[in-house]
């Protein structure tokens, strides 16, 4: 590349329509079965590459997020440059809408967008399968966003993916004024022993609306507001209401937009809670 190039792109949020903890590996990582669903809440990114020495500069206007290697988007750019060996300087502008620590996968989606965007700007030097492996090394949710499908079943640590037909719902996202550490949630999760004949089918659970998040048992005792938000959404007619991922965001699923917006209005008085009505995408 003899001159610069740039690209603007979006990074969607996700919700977990269900999350079932199936076991724990010897290295401490938990094995899960989940259903990821993209939703229409998005971060925006602008990427610029110029000939250089492999530097990465990240800025997050209007956000208090770190702008160095503590940020997953920065690490994604570094990983891409290491893998390709390209003599490029990378500039990333990240405009956040997805709250960090909310269980919506914002950091992972940003990282996936950086990997995809840089690969496109550089002429696709990294094959799709290898890009997925790079994403998995950055975080368990990154491969879902690289897969570029509306919804998928995730197994293993969440990186074994199978596309699935998403349900047609409007979703109310209730985002409390605090984030929750994924590591803290899993460290405090107590795995319930299930019988040997217990086989969990996430596809069937999705179809029958048997939506449940096993991680709620950790979060609800420490953050009762999460339970209160669930109760309000169910009282307002949500077909299901649960915490997304490791929290703190709670979502309610509604068949009708009008019911979703009425529920969002009911939540507007909850102190510090951000509310958005979104669709699957």
Which tens digit of pLDDT belongs to each residue from 47-71?
999 999 999 999 999 999 999 999 9
Q: Is 227 annotated as a binding residue?
A: no
Which residues in the chain are classed under CATH 3.30.230.10?
Answer: 5-163
Could you please state the CATH topology (level 3) that the domain comprising 5-163 is classified under.
Ribosomal Protein S5; domain 2 (3.30.230)
The confidence score (pLDDT) of residue 196 equals 47
Residue 79's contacts (CB-CB under 8 Å, 6 or more residues apart) are 115, 134, 137, 138
The confidence score (pLDDT) of residue 7 equals 98
Q: 């998040």: which residue's tokens?
A: 213
Q: Is 224 annotated as a binding residue?
A: no
Q: How many residues does the chain have?
A: 281
The confidence score (pLDDT) of residue 195 equals 46
Q: Which residues are catalytic?
A: 14, 141
pTM value is 0.94
Cα–Cα distance, 69 to 55 (Å, whole number)? 12
Beta carbons of 219 and 243 less than 8 angstroms apart: yes
Which residues in the chain are classed under CATH 3.30.70.890?
Answer: 170-279
Q: Which residues in the chain show pLDDT less than 70?
A: 1-2, 192-199
Q: Is 99 annotated as a binding residue?
A: yes
Beta carbons of 267 and 172 less than 8 angstroms apart: yes
Beta carbons of 37 and 17 less than 8 angstroms apart: yes
Domain 170-279 has CATH 3.30.70.890: yes
Q: Is 40 annotated as a binding residue?
A: no
Beta carbons of 170 and 240 less than 8 angstroms apart: no
């Amino acid at each position: 590349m003899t001159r610069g190039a740039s690209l603007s792109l979006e990074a969607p949020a996700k919700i977990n329509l269900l999350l079932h903890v199936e076991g724990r590996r010897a290295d401490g990582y938990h094995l899960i079965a989940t259903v990821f669903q993209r939703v229409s809440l998005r971060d925006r990114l602008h990427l610029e590459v110029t000939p250089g020495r492999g530097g990465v500069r990240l800025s997050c206007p209007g956000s208090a997020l770190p702008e160095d290697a503590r940020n997953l988007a920065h690490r994604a750019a570094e990983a891409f440059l290491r893998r390709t060996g390209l003599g490029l300087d990378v500039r990333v502008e990240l405009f956040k809408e997805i709250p960090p620590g909310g269980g919506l996968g914002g950091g992972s989606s940003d990282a996936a967008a950086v990997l995809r965007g840089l690969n496109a700007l550089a002429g696709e030097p990294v094959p799709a399968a290898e890009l997925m492996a790079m994403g998995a090394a950055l975080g368990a949710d990154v491969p879902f966003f690289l897969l570029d499908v509306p919804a998928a079943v995730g197994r293993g640590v969440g990186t074994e993916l199978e596309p699935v037909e998403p349900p047609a719902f409007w979703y109310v996202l209730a985002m409390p004024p605090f984030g929750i550490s994924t590591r803290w949630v899993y460290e405090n999760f107590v795995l319930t022993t299930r019988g040997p004949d217990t086989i969990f089918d996430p596809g069937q659970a999705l179809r029958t609306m048997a939506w449940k998040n096993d991680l709620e048992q950790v979060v609800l005792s420490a953050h009762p507001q999460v339970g209160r938000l669930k109760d309000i959404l169910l009282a307002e007619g949500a077909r299901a209401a649960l915490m997304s991922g490791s929290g703190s965001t709670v979502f309610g699923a509604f068949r009708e937009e009008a019911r979703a917006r009425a529920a969002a209005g009911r939540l507007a008085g909850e102190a510090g809670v951000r509310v958005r009505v979104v669709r699957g995408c």
